[in-house]
Amino acid sequence: KAGVTQTPRYLIKTRGQQVTLSCSPISGHRSVSWYQQTPGQGLQFLFEYFSETQRNKGNFPGRFSGRQFSNSRSEMNVSTLELGDSALYLCASGPDREFEKLFFGSGTQLSVL
């Protein structure tokens, strides 16, 4: 069974630009969540989607948005990039039930110059 696939693996952008990251969950998983990891703040929850519906959202500005498609693939978008958005963005997929294990992708390393 293929794992969680995130693309691209690395991204370099400049301030003010926007970026879109992609996540393909494990086959059969309908829950996709996103996390931001930085050396200073650690891992922080961005949002979670299940069957195209956002069920929870973390405490991030509106520049961070996401969506989920009918095939469970998900994208997150960051507009008007700031230097502080440089981070490893991790996607996790899970089955229907909240009590189950989450599986993480390798992440997208975003650098904002």
* Residues binding other proteins (CB under 8 A): 4, 31, 33, 35, 42-45, 48, 50, 55-56, 58, 88, 90, 92, 98-107, 109
Q: How far is the CB of 20 from other proteins (least distance, A)?
A: 19
Q: How far is the CB of 21 from other proteins (least distance, A)?
A: 13
Closer residue to other proteins in complex, CB, 22/104: 104
- Extract the runs of DSSP E, i.e. beta strands, from 1-113: 5-7, 10-13, 19-24, 31-38, 42-50, 53-57, 64-68, 74-78, 87-94, 103-104, 108-112
Closer residue to other proteins in complex, CB, 49/85: 49
Q: How far is the CB of 48 from other proteins (least distance, A)?
A: 5
Pairing relationship of beta strands 74-78 and 19-24 according to DSSP bridges: antiparallel
